[in-house]
Structure 1
Amino acid sequence: MRELAPILIANRGEIAARVARTAHGLGLSTVGVVTEADAGALHADATDMVVSIGSYLDMDELLRAARVAGARSVHPGYGFLSENAAFARAVRDAGLVWIGPPPEAIELMGDKGAAKEAAAAAGVPVVPSGDGAGFPVVVKAVAGGGGKGMRVVRAADELEAATAAAQREALSAFGDDRVIVEQYLERPRHIEIQVLADGHGNVVHLGERECSLQRRHQKVVEEAPSPVVSPQLRAEMGAAAVALVRACGYEGAGTVEFIATGDASEFFFLEMNTRLQVEHPVTELVYGLDLVEQQLRVAAGEELTLEQDLLAPLGHAVEARLYAEDPAGGFLPATGVVKVHALPDGEGVRVDTGIRAGSVVGTSYDPMLAKVVAYGPDRATALDRLDRALAQYAIAGVTTNAAFTRVLIGRDDVRAGEQDTGLLERVLEQLALPAPGDLLAAAVLAAAGTAHPAGPWRRALEDHGEARVADGVVTVGDQRWDGAAFAWSGDGFAYVTLDGVRRRYAIALEGEDVVYVFRDGHHLAVATHRPVRSGAGALAGSLEAPMPGTIWAVNVSNGDAVEEGDVLIVLESMKMELSITAPTAGVVEGLDLRAGDRVTLRQPLLAVVEAEA
């Protein structure tokens, strides 16, 4: 495999670091790329050389980076240009080895319509579409994935509007507004098959992954094997996946995705991902293989040494995607600086991450911070280990979905394996729990500086009222904690005793005004003062930005009369749009923003003032 090195990793974050780890383990050197927004990122330090680029989506920039660093191959990771046939061709045309499938296979499988036809021709079951699809149906982008450009339609009179919306989103996300219409299965499972193919005609599958726990068509928790797939069904689904791989002339690692009935007795082709998947670690753990190593060996022209009859899952693995988002705030993106970063330990726990203490989490890229994976001899043990790992994984400074995910995997139906792609959406209100009150008390003690200050300590806390510490008692509003004690333990952690119970917290201070506290997956940021506001912020009832991002559109001006529900501003962040609407009828005041302006979380935007009679 020496002819592959140095390997340019055309990606960022945890996947770039993960690819580099395997390459280095094989004795191969790597080249990383970073944008200005990623200056000082962990993945840059994970590679042997680094080249600055303007964008991870700029093919010319990536090829220039490969050229100046003397790279001999390119690994695209996942996302960005990993499924871009034009980039694969450009890499090959530049005389470099493309560590991925042939451009023709990427092109074929990247077109959902053509991929479906190829699957049907290969004898793979497909979902009815077109005139044969009765309501409900799903409209989805031909060129897309990850839930972008997708709408579920339950009645004929909704189809036109849903199609137009899907096309707009698809054009924005993929530069292609083509969509297809298929029958929508109620409460299906999402089950995918991992495949490997070499350039010598050998193809094997590595069983299935269950990916049914999703929100907005984005996977949240994945596992291998599926709790409902029998060895016989695994063989049937695997054979179907292998047939498709052979039919499209595939090489390398890929995933054939299916939707299935609740008991998985029937399954239908959904799409094929012509790259490594985010959830690939669960397959690696139960099959004892390194999929990146297999990719590199195939790219180097080696034959697969795996025999299908000898491949079977051993044990169980579950992965949780750790996102920078606020479940209690509608899952809006969270930003900030990682103040404390401490990985969980314990048997069977693996963490793939692209952050560390000091990392800046912004809105320029995907909000996934890490993949937390747990392995065990059985499913129950794997879930228990994952729950503990999420509780131990301390990230202070940025709100995450850790506590939310812990509640999700603790549900009786999830523990019983009774999940489907709509389960999470149906039970959302039961999962987004508020942070425990003791986090607020711990933040107050950290701000006070000691458990027993010489005199009473008090300060106004934004959103919480007045806080006070005196004689070992903490009060915030009408809340009270007795027997309070506080002691730093080093490395950003402290022991806090409240009402006779001592717990360990990750705590970070930002100057004298902001305290970040983390415990058991819960995160809280407390501002210990009320800032003086001007402009829109000085007006009663001013509307604030619910997430950091960019102003996409401003539909009103100061002095305009608006009605309740009118869309005033459209905010965009991480490819998600949010409309700021008028809470009541009135007149717009305090607006000083234009399209293209950047706004921070809770920044005052404007106010709608009730018109005088």
Structure 2
Amino acid sequence: MFTTVLVANRGEIARRVIRTLRALGIRSVAVYSDADAGAPHVREADVAVRLGPAPATQSYLDIGAVLRAARETGAQAIHPGYGFLSENAAFARACADAGIVFVGPGPEALEVMGDKIRAKTQVEARSVPTVPGFSAAGLTDDEVVARAAQAGFPLLVKPSAGGGGKGMQIVRDAAALPDALVTARRIAAAAFGDDTLLLERLIERPRHIEVQVLADAHGTIVHLGERECTLQRRHQKVIEEAPSPIIDAATRARLGEAACAAAASVDYRGAGTVEFLVAADRPDEFFFIEMNTRLQVEHPVTELVTGVDLVAEQLRVAAGEPLAFAQDDVRLTGHAIEARVYAEAPERGFLPATGDVLRWQAAPDVRTDAGVETGSTITADYDPMIAKVIAAGADRAEALDRLDAALAGTVVLGVDTNIAFLRGLLAQVAVRAGDLDTGLIDRLPAPGPATPTPAALQAAAEARHHIRDGTPRQTAGLGASHESRGVWERLPGWRIGGQREAHRVLLRGDDGAVHEVEVTVAGVTAPDVPRSGHDPAAPASALAEVDADGAVWVHAGGRAWRLQPVTRRAAMAQRHAAIERATGALDPELRAPMPGTVVAVHVADGAPVASGDRLVTIEAMKMEHAVTAPHDGVARIHVAVGTQVRRDEVLADVRAQADREEPHD
């Protein structure tokens, strides 16, 4: 066995691999970019080496930098995790050339299974069932149309290289095929540098079933049962579970046999996942779609139902050891379900979110693989997944209940997450019944902002009042100090004629409504607020934190809320605007959906605009977001090109006529 292993990754998967290395007594080496200098995985490893600047191309994807770090620290092997270099055949070869073991399959397996067309041909030779279809490589568009007519519609057009659903086009008739080919090729060339296409029969209402395999260098290949990964949004997995609620023992054996045959076709080594499509109305019929030649994000559910540490098995196989168990030794016990927690705002179209994690608290009694902690910063440089919450039970119903409770008890304050969306998804009747297909989430109504609960409002109001009137908390997200505040802001509720007994705080929620909350003032002495950031005066079930913009983040009732304090003047202006605008018109104030930079202003201040006209474009998370006029009117622009804007900052407003009475900032 190795004595030193470098983990060529970051976040939760780096921490998870380091955990097993520590359990095996193996010295761990972490690598990091400048953006991750203070990340948990850096601190938890025995040794940490800087790779380079924040962009992945200059750090985690820099093969030369990773190999230098391995040589400098004496690492005998490199575990790539998933993503980044985990399926890079050139990296696997470079490791071999440097005399360092790549914890994964050989370069040939990576190359074959990384090409959907080659992979399909390879496994067909081993009698693995594949989706009927054909490769468009070397065919003209006319020839593709002719072959498609023979294959029959509907068809799925997809890039041969890459994954994640990028470039996939559904074509239901011959007339739509030419445009679909153009679109799929353009996206494939941009995303993968290869515009080769594959056309396959579209399986309606499919389920996504994958099988975990392990193979050693001594001829043994075993499978560890299947995972149900059907709950996806835009081809990205959201919830995964093991075993599948629709796969019986006989079908499981057939799936496992096919998965092992696929692995054998490329002389596979280590842990891998073979993915299949299963028709929702015919679960005994399955088709190979691809093989992931690495550890999967969802591997914990398999570990919980089999008791096998997949990372430990990867390391043993990479060290040349035989698997310690045979197929007959594998037993599936109970049920496990995993939810991916992302830094994103579902009510804002699932936009990725950034910011400081003011408070992180994992739920007790379940497995949580997290890449963050209190004080972490979520940047736009990497994938927005910040944690995985995994629950197990004696059966599926118990596992679902435990996962929902665990999500309710997972606290993330300071950054938007999809936790409330996940809990709503788990509560769906079809999900509870196991009646799933890959389009289920996309058919659900778009999530909208929820009205904050009384408990959340009370906790936010009390936290804000104590920050204003007491000794401020010097946490990562706190703004101005007590000394810099005006004298009137520091008074604990005084007014002419004496002290009032209550203080009223106005808070605007993400639903746009302004809520007035009364906070009782006890005595004239400002309360002693601890420096930890938690307000003891808040309801017992609530936690509150204040960020750099003065917004209060509250966890109450199993979900998080962001509430922005507003002045009475601002609240009155909002009410007047609501009264003045035409019935049914949208809010005239146009706000930034997330922090970003203004890269374009499309109209002059005071110019007439029509509904749908672009007013301002901001760049955030490496994407451009155009802010458009909600209705006809006169535009007032509040920002300029280059302005750094905060989330919810007003960028512009459109009113029926120019407001000449009030000054314009």
TM-score, normalised by the number of residues in structure 2: 0.80
User: For residue 264 of structure 2, what is the amino acid of its counterpart?
Assistant: R
CA distance in 1, matches of 2:635, 2:17: 52
Name the SS of the counterpart of 1:122 in structure 2: coil
The answer to whether the 8 Å contact 1:199/1:251 transfers is yes
CA distance in 2, matches of 1:577, 1:268: 38
Deviation at 1:80, TM superposition (A): 1.1
CA distance in 2, matches of 1:520, 1:270: 41
Which residue of structure 1 aligns with residue 275 of structure 2?
257
Are 1:234 and 2:252 an aligned pair? yes
CA distance in 2, matches of 1:280, 1:18: 11
The answer to whether the 8 Å contact 1:122/1:243 transfers is yes
Which residue of structure 2 aligns with residue 482 of structure 1?
none
CA distance in 2, matches of 1:313, 1:487: 54
Name the SS of the counterpart of 1:170 in structure 2: helix
Question: Do the aligned partners of residues 188 and 177 (structure 1) sit closer, same or farther apart at CA in structure 2, a change above 3 Å counting?
Answer: same
User: For residue 363 of structure 2, what is the amino acid of its counterpart?
Assistant: P
CA distance in 1, matches of 2:602, 2:521: 52
CA distance in 1, matches of 2:546, 2:439: 40
Are 1:164 and 2:182 an aligned pair? yes
What is the Cα-based RMSD across aligned positions, in Å? 3.3
Q: Say which of 295, 303, 325 aligns to 1:276.
A: 295
Deviation at 1:603, TM superposition (A): 4.8
Deviation at 1:549, TM superposition (A): 5.2
Name the SS of the counterpart of 1:265 in structure 2: strand
Deviation at 1:151, TM superposition (A): 2.9
Mind listing any 5+ residue stretches in structure 2 that lack a counterpart? 53-58, 135-147, 471-491, 494-498, 571-576, 578-586, 659-665
Name the SS of the counterpart of 2:284 in structure 1: coil
Deviates more, 1:163-172 or 1:298-307: 163-172
Name the SS of the counterpart of 1:264 in structure 2: strand
Which residue of structure 2 aligns with residue 397 of structure 1?
414
Deviation at 1:402, TM superposition (A): 1.2
Deviates more, 1:556-565 or 1:296-305: 556-565
Which residue of structure 1 aligns with residue 593 of structure 2?
546
The answer to whether the 8 Å contact 1:493/1:504 transfers is no
Deviates more, 1:234-243 or 1:392-401: 392-401
Question: Do the aligned partners of residues 576 and 297 (structure 1) sit closer, same or farther apart at CA in structure 2, a change above 3 Å counting?
Answer: farther
Which residue of structure 1 aligns with residue 95 of structure 2?
91
After superposition, residues 421-436 of structure 1 pair within 5 angstroms as 421-429=438-446, 434-436=451-453
Which residue of structure 2 aligns with residue 478 of structure 1?
none
After superposition, residues 553-568 of structure 1 pair within 5 angstroms as 556=602, 558=604, 564-565=611-612
Which residue of structure 2 aligns with residue 179 of structure 1?
197
Which residue of structure 2 aligns with residue 61 of structure 1?
65
Name the SS of the counterpart of 2:60 in structure 1: coil
Question: Do the aligned partners of residues 557 and 567 (structure 1) sit closer, same or farther apart at CA in structure 2, a change above 3 Å counting?
Answer: closer
Question: Do the aligned partners of residues 512 and 432 (structure 1) sit closer, same or farther apart at CA in structure 2, a change above 3 Å counting?
Answer: closer
Which residue of structure 2 aligns with residue 479 of structure 1?
none
The answer to whether the 8 Å contact 2:9/2:80 transfers is yes
CA distance in 2, matches of 1:138, 1:306: 40
Q: Say which of 418, 437, 440 aligns to 1:420.
A: 437
Question: Do the aligned partners of residues 511 and 239 (structure 1) sit closer, same or farther apart at CA in structure 2, a change above 3 Å counting?
Answer: closer
Question: Do the aligned partners of residues 577 and 259 (structure 1) sit closer, same or farther apart at CA in structure 2, a change above 3 Å counting?
Answer: farther
CA distance in 2, matches of 1:308, 1:511: 55
Deviation at 1:149, TM superposition (A): 2.6
The answer to whether the 8 Å contact 2:506/2:568 transfers is no
Name the SS of the counterpart of 2:267 in structure 1: coil
Which residue of structure 2 aligns with residue 476 of structure 1?
none
Which residue of structure 1 aligns with residue 84 of structure 2?
80
User: For residue 469 of structure 1, what is the amino acid of its counterpart?
Assistant: E
TM-score, normalised by the number of residues in structure 1: 0.87
Deviation at 1:217, TM superposition (A): 0.7
Mind listing any 5+ residue stretches in structure 1 that lack a counterpart? 474-485, 534-538
Which residue of structure 1 aligns with residue 138 of structure 2?
none
Per-residue CA deviations over 1:32-51 (Å, capped at 9, x if unaligned) read 11111112011111211111
Question: Do the aligned partners of residues 362 and 155 (structure 1) sit closer, same or farther apart at CA in structure 2, a change above 3 Å counting?
Answer: farther
Question: Do the aligned partners of residues 512 and 352 (structure 1) sit closer, same or farther apart at CA in structure 2, a change above 3 Å counting?
Answer: closer
Q: Say which of 318, 332, 354 aligns to 1:335.
A: 354
User: Aligned pair count?
Assistant: 584
Are 1:208 and 2:208 an aligned pair? no
Question: Do the aligned partners of residues 165 and 45 (structure 1) sit closer, same or farther apart at CA in structure 2, a change above 3 Å counting?
Answer: farther
Name the SS of the counterpart of 1:524 in structure 2: strand
Per-residue CA deviations over 1:470-527 (Å, capped at 9, x if unaligned) read 5589xxxxxxxxxxxx998996555677xxxx65112112368221101244211222
Which residue of structure 2 aligns with residue 477 of structure 1?
none
Question: Do the aligned partners of residues 215 and 471 (structure 1) sit closer, same or farther apart at CA in structure 2, a change above 3 Å counting?
Answer: same
User: For residue 170 of structure 2, what is the amino acid of its counterpart?
Assistant: V
Question: Do the aligned partners of residues 592 and 574 (structure 1) sit closer, same or farther apart at CA in structure 2, a change above 3 Å counting?
Answer: closer
Which residue of structure 2 aligns with residue 467 of structure 1?
516
Which residue of structure 1 aligns with residue 342 of structure 2?
323
CA distance in 1, matches of 2:349, 2:451: 12
Q: Say which of 592, 596, 608 aligns to 2:640.
A: 592
CA distance in 1, matches of 2:398, 2:158: 37
Name the SS of the counterpart of 2:417 in structure 1: coil
CA distance in 2, matches of 1:173, 1:404: 29
CA distance in 2, matches of 1:487, 1:210: 51
CA distance in 1, matches of 2:278, 2:75: 43
Per-residue CA deviations over 1:3-54 (Å, capped at 9, x if unaligned) read xx32111110000000000011101011111111112011111211111112
Question: Do the aligned partners of residues 523 and 234 (structure 1) sit closer, same or farther apart at CA in structure 2, a change above 3 Å counting?
Answer: same
Per-residue CA deviations over 1:529-569 (Å, capped at 9, x if unaligned) read 46999xxxxx9946443234577x85956589976445677
Are 1:601 and 2:638 an aligned pair? no
The answer to whether the 8 Å contact 1:334/1:398 transfers is yes
The answer to whether the 8 Å contact 2:116/2:290 transfers is yes
Deviates more, 1:332-341 or 1:231-240: 332-341
Question: Do the aligned partners of residues 566 and 447 (structure 1) sit closer, same or farther apart at CA in structure 2, a change above 3 Å counting?
Answer: closer
Which residue of structure 2 aligns with residue 504 of structure 1?
541
Question: Do the aligned partners of residues 159 and 586 (structure 1) sit closer, same or farther apart at CA in structure 2, a change above 3 Å counting?
Answer: farther
Among all aligned residue pairs of Structure 1 and Structure 2, give the percentage whose two residues are the same amino acid: 48
The answer to whether the 8 Å contact 2:152/2:201 transfers is yes
Question: Do the aligned partners of residues 506 and 23 (structure 1) sit closer, same or farther apart at CA in structure 2, a change above 3 Å counting?
Answer: same
Which residue of structure 1 aligns with residue 561 of structure 2?
524
User: For residue 409 of structure 2, what is the amino acid of its counterpart?
Assistant: Q
Deviation at 1:400, TM superposition (A): 1.2
Which residue of structure 2 aligns with residue 113 of structure 1?
117
